[in-house]
Amino acid sequence: MALTEELPGRPRSHYGMSKWQAEQGLLALHAPGQFDVVIVRPCMFYGPPTPQRHVEMFQAPARQLDALVGGGQYARSISYIEDLARGVLLCLTHPAPPGEVFNLCDERVYTTLEICEAMAAAMNVKPRYLRLPGLSGQVAYTVDSALAASGLIG
């Protein structure tokens, strides 16, 4: 499913909840022409400079099995860093956005498999997958949500 502004906010962690609450607080203060608020939600991005956590993710297919849950069909919204930067600038300079929320990502939605295959091709390696059933992702999400709700993880 494509990430759109029509989707309701669904924070899944304390961190996500704190960001959502900050957005709601800022939107409540929005006063056109006096205190303009534009909420920008960037998606996962790629391109230089590459954060270390992304470098490690890109290197993973070359040295280990990459977990592929549900056949790799999980949808991901991503964007190239230069496109993301242009989107932020547009949100800050266009006269229409005040009071709006924008999810900045490519129009096209990619699957986890497509992303893994592209990373492997860029590194000229053959990807190796540990294929896990889709149910394993649901179980992991449920456990993660329960731990976050209990305050044991952030």
Closest CA to 91 of 23, 44, 21, 37: 37
The pairing of strands 101-104 and 66-69 is: unpaired
User: How close are the terminal C-alpha atoms of the chain, in Å?
Assistant: 26
Q: Which CATH architecture has domain 26-149?
A: 3-Layer(aba) Sandwich (3.40)
Mean pLDDT calculated for residue range 45-58 = 73
With beta carbons less than 8 A apart as the criterion, state whether 76 and 115 touch.
yes
Mean pLDDT calculated for residue range 13-38 = 91
Res 58: pLDDT: 61
Res 55: pLDDT: 67
Query: CA 9 to CA 22: how far, in whole Å?
Result: 12
The type of residue at 116 is C
Could you identify the residue written with the tokens 């498999």?
A: 113
The pairing of strands 66-69 and 129-132 is: parallel
Query: CA 32 to CA 8: how far, in whole Å?
Result: 23
pTM for the structure as a whole: 0.70
Token digits of residue 144: 């993660």
Domain ranges of the chain: 26-149
Residue 83 in this model has a pLDDT that exceeds 90 = yes
